Every structure is written in structure tokens, then in C-alpha cells.
């Protein structure tokens, strides 16, 4: 008999990928994924620990799941509650102590053991598994049981050896590990066979990828991208998240040579002050970062940049903050994430002196965001009138509307028939706001006569135009 599986996912795309894999692993056991916890037989919270209040959020959600568990118990049925992901890894004991109704707690490296864990928990034994097993979970994953959708994620690397002093990832995800290239190429082919047009290669430190093939040769990310480029039917490749220290020249070159590699780079800088970058143990300077930006523009002049920033790291002065604002001005980003520093227990940053008061952090964040938001708004505004190939990868909120992505990662709302879902179609951008754009599907004739259309994209985009839709 089929059972209901509810998974709620917080955090990064790696967690989204992990949740999908958990569903794939549980599918042979009869679990079907559902969108709400009502009447679910297994409820998993896949958590993120990167910034503050993670644990409180988990407890408040657990309270709600408990009600569902109790409602099921009143009918004489059993429901299991599990906490997975980085909060489970970091605070598993606290969760088990505080929430006696939680049946399973397991870290990100153990979800391939889910069938065993579920069996054990079904037999009324609480399960806790926050090990870093010697075997790789990737060697034990079943083939995908659900369609990936037009835009798929593929985890190629996990963990991190960089130890930035603000970050929990090296502790929760463990040491850097790269999957073998053959395993990745096979998974990529399967995703394309099942309809994916775009693949985003994922890793906490994705450009540090160094997978060994069967001959013992080590592949870097550039070579892996070149291998994936050869998969027929795949139209777009992306990767995230990168560290400036691993932005090798061969990786920069593939941005020039491989048309399927999208002209967008998410490259966190965190701060524009060399003093703070040093305290953060980032192992790069602001000048190093800017020189990567220049090289990337030489390789792919139309590339769009995005980044992550942290304001208010311990010891950050007004002058350090000003250096961050200056860097933002110099790069001119298309979109960014920016955060107030939040001390993470167990990281070196959490015990550093020079704590920045909360109201100073607030003011600095506001000042930085006013620059970044304006850059994003004006980036989108500059797209108005241009024709770009858009991959329709989501349904819009209104009927008759699809949501897609430009090569530059901008969201586009378009009135379009549902059968264009999963297609790449030329769209003229009509309107823009800070968060995205809206556009209209254009005919091939319009594309060819459009002065704003880029030749490069005429080849990639227009071959997929469904002319009957125009
Ligand atoms: N405080 C604030 N932001 C953080 N990030 C990571 N750790 C912290 C922290 N302790 C941000 C970084 C990183 C992004 C994923 O989250 O900017 O790049
Ligand atoms: Fe965390 Fe990224 Fe630094 Fe690794 S490189 S420690 S994942 S911020």
C-alpha cells in the first residue's frame, strides 16, 4: 500500500537535491511524495544551519508536525517524524532531548541509509545518525524515480576544506569530496533523457571539484563541463557555488568556449576589505576578486555576476564597510545575497572580539542593500526591449502564465500556453522590476529583425521556438 511522504526543505540547492534523492530512495518502499503533512506517514524536515534561528525554526515546525502525528495516532495509525540536514548534524542531541516525539535524526551524509533507519524507527526505536560514513552516499543512490523537470540540479561535490571563520559547512557537511566523473555524466544523461534542458552542477565549493575517473586521472570542473556539454538534448549548463580561490584559468576559458555554459557566475566575495577577508580566512583579497571579474569579462563579455556579502563580521570598521561598498560599485552585480553576520557556535568567528552592535549591522546592511538592489533593478531594466531565449521551468501563479529564466538568471513572467513548459523560447522583455521581468513570446521574423537580439542567442534560442504559439 502506498504511504505518504512529506519533506520540507530549507536552505541551499544542495538541500533541494538531497530532498529529491531522499524521495527517490524511499519510493521503492512505497512512499509517495505529498505537498502537505496532513495524514503523512513520514514527515522529514531537511534543515539548514547556515544562519541564525535555524534551531528555533525547526522546533516551531516540529510542534506543527507533532499535531499531525497525534491526529494519526488517534486513528490508530503511526506517523514518523525525522529531522535531517545540517541542524540535525549540529544539534541532533538537543533535538532528541527536547522533542521526545521525534523518531529520527540524521545528517546530510547518511540519507542513503534511510530504508534501514525507517525500518528501525517503525519498530519504535529512535534513530540518530550523524556520522560521516567512510562509504559515499552517492554510491548507494537509486536512479531517479520522479521526472527532474526542465531545470535539474546535480550534486557533484560536497563538503568544504576552506574553513572560512564564519561558516558551519566544514563541520556539518564534512571534508571536501568529489564524485567520480563517470557517475556524474551518467546521472546527467539520465536527467536529460527524462526531460531536463538545463543542469546546474552543485557543490558547496563546486569549482574545487577534482573527481577521479576509472583510469585514476583527475578531472577539474572545466573538463567535467566539457564532458557534459557533449550530451545531446542538453541546452544549458550552470554551476554553483564557487570560491574565488578556485577560479582557475581553464574554468574561465570554458566560459568563452562552451556556448551551453550560461553567462552567469555566482561568486561570493563576502567583504571588500582585505583586513576582514583575512579575519574571515577567505584566502583572497579584494584585488584578486576584481581580477577574476576582469578575466571573466574578457572570456565572456556579456556575463552577469552575482555574489554573497556578510556585513558586521567581528572587527569590521566603517572603513572596512566602505571598502565593501566600493567593491560592489566596481563590479556592478546583476543580483546578490547579503546578510548580517550571525555567530555560529563552534566556528572561530563566534569567539572573536570586536563584536559589531546589532544596530550598526542593520545600518550597514541597509546601506549595502540599497546599492545592490539598485544594481539589480537597473540590470533588469537594461534588458527591456531585448529578445532572449527563456527556459520555461515553472508554472506562473495565474492560469495561462509561465515563468522562465533568461541565460542571465533573470526570472521572466510570460503569458504562454502550458505546452511550452520545458521549452526554450525567444521572449522580448517588456517590463522590469528589481525581482524580475515580464515579456512576450516573439515570432522568428520578429527575432530576426530585432536590433537588440544578440546573434549568439539567435542560434541557441530560436531553434526551439514553437511557431504555432506565436
Ligand atoms: N553569518 C552570516 N552569513 C553567513 N553565511 C554563511 N555563514 C554565515 C554566517 N555565520 C552566508 C555567506 C555564504 C552564504 C551561503 O551564507 O555569505 O556565502
Ligand atoms: Fe563555508 Fe563556502 Fe567558506 Fe567553505 S568556502 S567554509 S562553504 S563559506
As beta bridge partners, residue 440 has 428
CA of 169 to the centre of ligand 2 (A): 6
The arithmetic mean of pLDDT across residues 36-40, rounded, is 93
Protein residue whose Cα sits closest to atom 2 of ligand 1 = 341
Q: pLDDT value at position 457?
A: 41
Q: What percent of the chain has pLDDT over 70?
A: 94
How many angstroms separate the CA atoms of 126 and 132, rounded? Answer: 19
Assess if CATH 1.10.1060.10 describes domain 3-129: no
Has residue 424 got a pLDDT over 50? yes
Fold match between domain 137-379 and domain 387-450? no
| C-alpha of residue 167 to centroid of ligand 1, in Å | 6
Q: What is the mean pLDDT of residues 247-252?
A: 98
Taking 90 as the threshold, does the pLDDT of residue 465 lie above it? no
DSSP state, residue 89: H
- Architecture in CATH for domain 137-379: Alpha-Beta Horseshoe (3.80)
CA 403 to chain centre: 18
In this prediction, residue 447 has a pLDDT band, given cuts at 50, 70 and 90, of low
Average pLDDT over residues 300-310: 98
Please report the pLDDT score of residue 112 as a whole number.
Answer: 87
Atom 3 of ligand 2, nearest CA residue: 164
CA 220/CA 14 separation, integer angstroms: 20
State the Cα–Cα distance between residues 188 and 154, nearest whole angstrom.
7
Secondary structure class of 198 (helix, strand, coil): strand
What are the DSSP calls for 395-417, one per residue? Answer: E-SSTTEEEEE-TT--EEEEE--
- The gap between the terminal CA atoms of the chain, to the nearest Å, is 46
pLDDT grade, residue 452 (50/70/90)? very low
pLDDT reading at 149 higher than 60: yes
Residue extents of the structural domains in the chain: 3-129, 137-379, 387-450
- How many angstroms separate the CA atoms of 382 and 150, rounded? 27
All three cell numbers of 463, joined, read 531553434
CA distance linking residue 360 with residue 72, whole number of Å: 48
Q: Is 44 helix (H, G, I), strand (E, B) or coil?
A: strand
* Sign of CA pseudo-dihedral 238, 239, 244, 250: negative
Do residues 154 and 178 make contact, with C-beta atoms less than 8 angstroms apart?
Answer: no
Edge-to-edge strand list for the sheet holding 80-84? 31-34, 3-9, 42-47, 80-84, 104-106, 127-129
Closest protein CA for atom 13 of ligand 1: 308
Our answer on whether the CB atom of 164 is closer than 6 Å to any ligand 2 atom is: yes
What is the pLDDT averaged over residues 414-418? 94
Read off φ and ψ for residue 54, nearest 5 degrees: -60, -50
Closest ligand (CA of 311) = 1
Q: Which pTM value belongs to this model? A: 0.88
Question: Would you identify the CATH topology of the domain 387-450?
Answer: OB fold (Dihydrolipoamide Acetyltransferase, E2P) (2.40.50)
- Distance between Cα 365 and ligand 1 center (Å): 13
Tell me which residue has cell 575517473: 213
The helices-and-strands tally (H runs, E runs) of the chain is 14, 21
Instruction: Give me ligand 1 centre to Cα 51, in Å.
Output: 6
Instruction: Give the CB-side neighbour count of residue 231, counting CA atoms within 13 A.
Output: 28
Amino acid at each position: 500500500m502506498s504511504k505518504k511522504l512529506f519533506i520540507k526543505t530549507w536552505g541551499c540547492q544542495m538541500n533541494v537535491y538531497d530532498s529529491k534523492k531522499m524521495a527517490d530512495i524511499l519510493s521503492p518502499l512505497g512512499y509517495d511524495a505529498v505537498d502537505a503533512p496532513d495524514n503523512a506517514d513520514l514527515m522529514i524536515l531537511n534543515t539548514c544551519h547556515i544562519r541564525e534561528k535555524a534551531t528555533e525554526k525547526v522546533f516551531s515546525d516540529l510542534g506543527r508536525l507533532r499535531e499531525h502525528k497525534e491526529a494519526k495516532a488517534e486513528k490508530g495509525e503511526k506517523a514518523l517524524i525525522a529531522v535531517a540536514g545540517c541542524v540535525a548534524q549540529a544539534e541532533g542531541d538537543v533535538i532528541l532531548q527536547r522533542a521526545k516525539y521525534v523518531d529520527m535524526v540524521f545528517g546530510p551524509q547518511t540519507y542513503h541509509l534511510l530504508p534501514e533507519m525507517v525500518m528501525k524507527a517503525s519498530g519504535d526505536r529512535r534513530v540518530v545518525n550523524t556520522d560521516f560514513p567512510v562509504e559515499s552516499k552517492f554510491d548507494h543512490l537509486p536512479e531517479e524515480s520522479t521526472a527532474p523537470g526542465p531545470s535539474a540540479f546535480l550534486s557533484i561535490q560536497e563538503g568544504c576544506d576552506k574553513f572560512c571563520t564564519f561558516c558551519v559547512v566544514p563541520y556539518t557537511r564534512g571534508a571536501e569530496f568529489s564524485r567520480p566523473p563517470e557517475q556524474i555524466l551518467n546521472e546527467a544523461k539520465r536527467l536529460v533523457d527524462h526531460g531536463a534542458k538545463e543542469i546546474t552542477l552543485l557543490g558547496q565549493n563546486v569549482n574545487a571539484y577534482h573527481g577521479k575517473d576509472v583510469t585514476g586521472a583527475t578531472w577539474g570542473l572545466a573538463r567535467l563541463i566539457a564532458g557534459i556539454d557533449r550530451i545531446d538534448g542538453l541546452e544549458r549548463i550552470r554551476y554553483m557555488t564557487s570560491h574565488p580561490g578556485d577560479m582557475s584559468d581553464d574554468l574561465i576559458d570554458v566560459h568563452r568556449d562552451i556556448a551551453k555554459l550560461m553567462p552567469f557566475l555566482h561568486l561570493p566575495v563576502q567583504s571588500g576589505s582585505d583586513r576582514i577577508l583575512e579575519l574571515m580566512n577567505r584566502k583572497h583579497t579584494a584585488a584578486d576578486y576584481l581580477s577574476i571579474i576582469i578575466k571573466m569579462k574578457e572570456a565572456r563579455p556579456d556575463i552577469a555576476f552575482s555574489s554573497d556579502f556578510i556585513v558586521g563580521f567581528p572587527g569590521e570598521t566603517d572603513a572596512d564597510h566602505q571598502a565593501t561598498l566600493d567593491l560592489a560599485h566596481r563590479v556592478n552585480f546583476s543580483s546578490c545575497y547579503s546578510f548580517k553576520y550571525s555567530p555560529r557556535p563552534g566556528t572561530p568567528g563566534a569567539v572573536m572580539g570586536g563584536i559589531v552592535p546589532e544596530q550598526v549591522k542593520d545600518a550597514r546592511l541597509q546601506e549595502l542593500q540599497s546599492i545592490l538592489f539598485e544594481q539589480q533593478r537597473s540590470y533588469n531594466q537594461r534588458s527591456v526591449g531585448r529578445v532572449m531565449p527563456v527556459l520555461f521551468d515553472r508554472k506562473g501563479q495565474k492560469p495561462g502564465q509561465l515563468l522562465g529564466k533568461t541565460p542571465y538568471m533573470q526570472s521572466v513572467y510570460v503569458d504562454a500556453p502550458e505546452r511550452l513548459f520545458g521549452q526554450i523560447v525567444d521572449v522580448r522583455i517588456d517590463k522590469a522590476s528589481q525581482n524580475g521581468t515580464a515579456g512576450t513570446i516573439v515570432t522568428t521574423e520578429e527575432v530576426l529583425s530585432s536590433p537588440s537580439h544578440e546573434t549568439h542567442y539567435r542560434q541557441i534560442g530560436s531553434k526551439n521556438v514553437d511557431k504555432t504559439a506565436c
